[in-house]
Amino acid sequence: MALAKAIVSSRTLAKSLPLLSHLPKLSDAPPYSARTLGVIRAFSALVSPPAKAVVYEQHGPPDSVTRVIELPPVLVKENDVCIRMLAAPINPSDINSIEGVYPVRPQVPAVGGREGVGKVHLVGTAVKDLSPGDWVIPSPLSFGTWQTYIVKDQSVWQKIDNDSPMEYAATISINPPTALRMLEDFTSLEPGDSIVQNGATSMVGRCVIQIAKSRGIRSINIIRDRAGSDEAKDTLKKLGAEEVFTESQLEVKNVKSLLGDLEEPALGLNCVGGNAASLVMKFLRQGGTMVTYGGMSKKPITVSTSSFIFKDGTGSF
């Protein structure tokens, strides 16, 4: 998954942000006392730097509808925190939001991105729990992380350890929790149990492998046939995968013959759709559960009727 440092801005969005241009310049203002000038300087300091942002004003292909614009400074109110974004990822859901096909999306015009990591640049006068230099992530998830500076209420930001690798901190809010909830919420898994998933090279897939390994749960992983698949297999096995198969390797009459000493999986995870979903279902044990959390192929899920009837399978879509 590509990581992108937030380098975003927009003159269109500037209309919706607080502007300070109406404030008089000190050179044009009447004489002030030293005390008053001190107050003015203190007030002026609580303003974010100009920012850049990746924005879109209509839905469509990201490479066609997004652009980088400049945003004006924003007043930092007493409960606000100004964050300098360090890194923000490009998730599939971000792309789908820009395309307009994702059910949860901001109104346009909008700044892209929903997660990332930033450093506190400036805090409002009433903020006590955050200080300049702290690393933070938006919690809950917040639209608009693809920009260089963000000003939002302190309640939006969650402090994290600043010794975390930046790429991990930037992606901690969406993919790891997704993996954790799928392993915990749909069936009871015990050490020695097995799971199967497609899309194993995705960030969620990698998190699934590592969390499962830490709990003694063995993972069977399916990846696409493409250049570099051998290297991908090695990478996933180093993370803790028990088995990694390409889709073409599963073109056999009985995929369970490939399991060796592994238990038949109790849980299957599908983020691809199409025929890749049927491969997950074929591995499942009697009464197993398949959870669909994505559709990267943009094709309908293909699962045989017999898988549900005779295997007593359960699907969560």
Kindly write down the DSSP assignment for every residue of 141-159, as one continuous string: --S--SBSEEEEEGGGEEE
Tokens of 199: 């899309």
Q: What tokens does 70 get?
A: 């400049």
Q: Which two tokens stand for residue 97?
A: 């939001």
* Catalytic residue flag (residue 168): no
Of 102, 149, 168, 293, catalytic: 102
Q: How many CA atoms lie within 13 A of 288 on its CB side?
A: 23
Residue whose pair of structure tokens reads 């899920």 in the numeric block: 301
Handedness of CA 238, 241, 242, 248 (dihedral sign): negative
For residues 21, 27, 31, 35, the Cα torsion angle rounded to the nearest 10 degrees is: 70
| Strand-pair category, 135-138 with 110-111 | unpaired
DSSP label at residue 232: H
- Which helix (H) or strand (E) segment holds residue 139: the answer is none
Query: Is residue 109 packed enough to be buried (19+ CB in 10 Å), middle (13-18) or exposed (0-12)?
Result: middle
Residue 18: which residues within 8 A CB-CB, separation 6 or more? Answer: 74, 75
Catalytic residues: 102
